[in-house]
Chain A
Amino acid sequence: MTRDAENPPILEVSGLDAFYGPAQAVFGVSFTVRPGEAVALVGRNGAGKSTTLKAIIGLIERQAAGLIFSGHDIRAMPTHAVARLGLGYVPEERRIFTDLTVAENLEVGRLPVRGGRDAWTPARLYEIFPNLAMMAGRSAGRMSGGEQQMLAIARTLMGNPDAVLLDEPSEGLSPLIVEQMAVAIQRMQQDGLAIVLSEQNVAFAAEIATRAVLLESGVVTFDGPMADLLQRDHDAG
């Protein structure tokens, strides 16, 4: 517990409701993440994982009892302001700018560095994602799914975030690429970043996250150590 006191949460979500137009998709979701911690939101397709992430970053309508990032109340903040506080977002389906080159995609994500960390530069990112280096000048639309996913993560890192929301990073990728992705995410975590991962692939989530938040029909039904969730599933089925 003393460690928790020294390391207060960077993101605190409490009582989050999220809406698609008139329809509510997420009901009173609460959880916290500390710097360097990786939390996985797990649950079925349509359980509200992606919606929760979109609501935190402000891409869809939301209400919350509390939504605090880095000490700021972000409930009424527009998306770009939340991102500028250091909360990165890697969307599902990657949403890279296919009309732009790889280098231009990185440029869109560039934000000034906060705090004492070294700023991410394209050169540093190309070290982690060597595939990207080879195609820096190429149109991003002509990359494979795995390469696009790497670009999506690299693009978010260009904003020098303190925490990253990763929406289904393993979806649709071959196991080989998923392994590379896991390594890259673990590296980000070692760098001190907080990670919130939305993931259907529980095996992949377990590789990265130590804590799991289980969502079912828009409601949190489990919040605790990943090992406990796996054990529970094992016992149940």
Chain B
Amino acid sequence: MTLLVVSGLSKAFGGVVAARDVSFTVARGELVALIGPNGAGKSTTFNMVGGQLAPDAGSVMLDGAPITGLAPRAIWRLGVGRTFQIAQAFVSMTAAENVAVAVQSAARRSFGLAGSAQREGRDVALVLLEAVGLTKVADHVVATLAYGDIKRVELAIALAGAPKLLLMDEPTAGMARGERHALMEQVAALARTRGLGVLFTEHDMDAVFGHADRVLALVAGKIVAEGTPAAVQADEAVQRLYLGASGARIAKAAGVRRGAP
């Protein structure tokens, strides 16, 4: 069932066109990867879906309702959680407090002048931290955590609004190799069990071709290929414009590993 429908999104910065006529869909429970060289318009497309940027043209529909050009906070309330390329967490707070703040926001309690922010929503926060494997560090201040763990905290924060769609900008960037695979497995499991749609950008070909259900290849602001990982990886234009010989080899290897029992 289609969750996100993006049609005809365009955006130019000055004279530079960052995205032109970008259209795609994401279904519930589906992991869709957005790949392409730096500057191809991945982050621009992402930010237009998440509300950080307003598109020049085109529309974004979530569950049949238009969210084009809404503020990020409004889009979040409609069911879109997101993580950032450089992890954005509340560094002065513990992991549990980070998630609790999001839980309080979801409950529209953030303007509450009384009560304990440490206790409110803590139970929900602990459940979410468990889901991303951070129970042990729930009461550690985020600034003291390893970068990979901060990325997981971000994921738990994004889940606190009970989203229908998860936007993840380079979810595994800066993580160790072993962690990357584990994180993507977790995300895939969350998507299946909760019926979440996941749209993610990624440079790591292992993550893309090992975990995505569908891949969109973006070059110079345009989608040049779309389809299953195998189809996109075999696509002549993608090989020429993005993957190159070494990238194709890695992509193929990742696909093979995935196909193997």
Question: Quick check: do A and B touch in the complex, using CB within 8 A?
Answer: yes
In the complex, are the beta carbons of B244 and A178 less than 8 A apart?
yes
Q: Which residue of A lies closest to B172 (CB)?
A: A45
Cβ 8 A contact of A175, one of B16, B38, B147, B241: B241
A218 to B37, CA, bound (A): 26
Q: Using known A-B contacts A46-B147, A174-B37, determine if residue A237 contacts B244 with beta carbons closer than 8 Å.
A: no
Chain A residue contacts of B245, Cβ below 8 A:
203
Identify which of residues 197-223 in chain A touch chain B, using a CB-to-CB cut-off of 8 Å: 201-204, 217
* B70 interface residue (CB < 8 Å to A): no
Is A172 a contact partner of B37 (Cβ separation < 8 A)? yes
The answer on a CB contact under 8 Å between A145 and B14 is no
Asked if B131 CB lies within 8 Å of chain A CBs, one says: no
B246 touches A (CB below 8 Å): yes
In the bound complex, residues from chain B placing their C-beta under 8 Å from that of A204 are 246
Q: Is residue A171 within 8 Å, beta carbon to beta carbon, of the partner chain? A: yes
B244 engages A173 (CB within 8 Å): no
How many chain B residues touch A (Cβ–Cβ < 8 Å)? 24
Q: Assess the A45–B173 pair: CB atoms within 8 A.
A: yes
Q: A122 to nearest B CB, angstroms?
A: 25
A44 at the interface (CB under 8 A from B): yes
> What per-residue 1/0 map shows which CB atoms of B174-199 lie under 8 Å from chain A?
11110000000000000000000000
Could you tell me if B253 and A174 are in contact, using CB atoms closer than 8 angstroms?
no
The winner among A141, A172, A174, A204 for most chain B CB atoms within 10 A is A174
Closest to A178 in B: B244
B221-248 to A contact mask, C-beta < 8 Å, 1/0: 0000000000000000000111011110
**Known A142-B14, A142-B16, A217-B176: A173·B37 in contact at CB below 8 Å:** yes
Tell whether A142 pairs with B15 under 8 Å between CB atoms, given A44-B177, A46-B176, A237-B253. yes
**Closest beta carbon of chain A to B247's beta carbon, Å:** 8
Residues of A31-49 at the interface with B, using a CB-CB cut-off of 8 Å, are 44-46
* Contact of B246 (CB < 8 Å), options: A45, A142, A172, A202: A202
Residues from chain B with a CB closer than 8 A to the CB of A144 are 39
> A175–B243 Cα gap in the complex (Å)?
8
Indicate if the CB atoms of A203 and B176 lie closer than 8 Å: no
A-side residues, CB < 8 A to B, are 44-46, 141-142, 144-145, 171-175, 178, 201-204, 217, 237
4 shortest interchain CB distances as A-B pairs: A172-B38, A203-B246, A46-B174, A145-B39
B residues near A, CB below 8 A?
Answer: 14-16, 37-40, 147, 173-177, 203-204, 219, 240-242, 244-247, 253
